[in-house]
């Protein structure tokens, strides 16, 4: 029986979490963790599998014989732009933990804006005891752009909290309890949306879609008079100069941003200091590394047994 192919791991995650997760992963094959200096310059030819997240740009030239590439997260745009991407299946990470973490973040951000948390923080910093007029969730329509697994789960949980939820995707989806729109219904969707949630993959069609022209079409009938923008999809889908301009002009009442055009977010960025903007460092749905390796092991077992891989990315569509 031939030896099983090693697995290359090139993950820009918290190193201690990767190291701990690897302790019990892939027990029957060698793991080449490229974060370990011992593998610097190692010949990676003849290896079938690589698990990547924002990997080194020379990875595919160093590992020319890969049969499957596994993304360390739900997104794959960082892989699709790497030089020398081989013509092999690219598998994205789908797991309950990713879904629940994303939903938690989305619900939290909607509640922070609904309950005017920034305003109360400012009052507390001034030791000022003052009540603000308080709408409830039922007064707010949350519009989610991107109704895949993550968007649908977020919609269900927002509805439990009392928000009215509507959804948009390029092709219409039928989701119980959620009014949905397709590409042709974008303006109608935007016109009802008080809190806009972005959960879109990054494709040529979605690049820069969250811009001033789109924000101008959002509802102005919500309890705060101006809409809120919440994005945990991809930084490339937003035009940050437009977001800043819309906040300055009060076209947007606020924003929550987990993703940015440039990451890490530069220290000089105005987003850090705006009083009505929440910034998180691309952690809305951080991968559970142990769950990731279990997912990869399962897919490798399917592949080596002659079964089709699951969650294979359409490289043309970008997701």
Enumerate the β-bridge partners of residue 141. Answer: 164
Q: Which of 78, 92, 101, 234 is catalytic?
A: 234
**Residue 248 belongs to what H/E stretch?**
helix 240-248
Q: Residue 183: is the preceding peptide bond cis (ω within 30°)?
A: no
User: What count of Cα atoms within 13 Å lies in the side-chain half-sphere of residue 116?
Assistant: 14
Tokens of 104: 């938690």
| Among 94, 97, 67, 142, residue whose Cα is nearest residue 319 | 94
Q: Vertex 10, ends 310 and 47: CA angle to 5°?
A: 70
Q: Catalytic residue at 282?
A: yes
| Among 64, 6, 72, residue whose Cα is nearest residue 33 | 6
User: What count of Cα atoms within 13 Å lies in the side-chain half-sphere of residue 297?
Assistant: 16
Q: Which of 62, 78, 101, 282 is catalytic?
A: 282
Q: Catalytic residue at 156?
A: no
Secondary structure, 3-state, 140-201: CEEEEECCCHHHHHHHHHHHHCCCEEEEECCCCCCECCEEEECHHHHHHHHHHCCEEEECCC
Q: In what order do the strands lie in the sheet with 49-53?
A: 31-33, 7-11, 49-53, 68-71, 90-91
Q: Give the residue numbers annotated as catalytic, written as ranges.
A: 234, 282
């Amino acid at each position: 029986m031939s030896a099983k192919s090693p697995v290359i791991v090139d993950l820009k995650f918290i190193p201690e979490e990767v190291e701990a997760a690897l302790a019990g992963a892939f027990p029957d094959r060698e793991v080449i963790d490229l974060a370990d200096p011992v593998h610097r310059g190692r010949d990676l030819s003849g290896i079938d599998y690589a698990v990547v997240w924002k990997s080194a740009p020379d990875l595919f030239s160093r590992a020319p014989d890969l049969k499957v590439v596994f993304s360390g997260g739900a997104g794959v745009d960082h892989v699709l732009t790497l030089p020398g991407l081989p013509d092999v299946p690219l598998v994205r990470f789908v797991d309950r933990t990713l879904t629940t973490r994303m939903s938690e973040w989305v619900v939290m951000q909607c509640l922070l804006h609904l309950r005017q948390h920034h305003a109360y923080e400012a009052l507390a910093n001034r030791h000022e005891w003052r009540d603000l007029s308080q709408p409830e969730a039922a007064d707010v329509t949350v519009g989610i752009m991107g109704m895949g697994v993550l968007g649908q789960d977020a919609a269900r949980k927002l509805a439990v909290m009392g928000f009215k939820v509507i959804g948009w995707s390029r092709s219409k989806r039928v989701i119980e309890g959620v009014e949905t729109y397709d590409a042709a219904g974008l303006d109608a969707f935007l016109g009802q949306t008080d809190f806009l949630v972005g959960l879109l993959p990054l494709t040529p069609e979605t690049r820069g879609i969250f811009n001033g022209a789109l924000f101008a079409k959002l509802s102005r009938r919500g309890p705060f008079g101006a809409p809120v923008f919440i994005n945990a999809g991809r930084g490339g889908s937003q035009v940050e100069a437009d977001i800043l301009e819309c906040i300055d002009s009060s076209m947007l009442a606020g924003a929550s941003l987990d993703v940015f055009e440039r990451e890490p977010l530069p220290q000089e960025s105005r987003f850090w200091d705006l009083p009505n903007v929440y910034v998180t460092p691309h952690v809305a749905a951080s991968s559970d590394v142990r769950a990731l390796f279990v997912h990869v092991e399962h897919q490798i077992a399917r592949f080596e047994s002659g079964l089709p891989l699951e969650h294979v990315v359409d490289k043309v569509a970008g997701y």
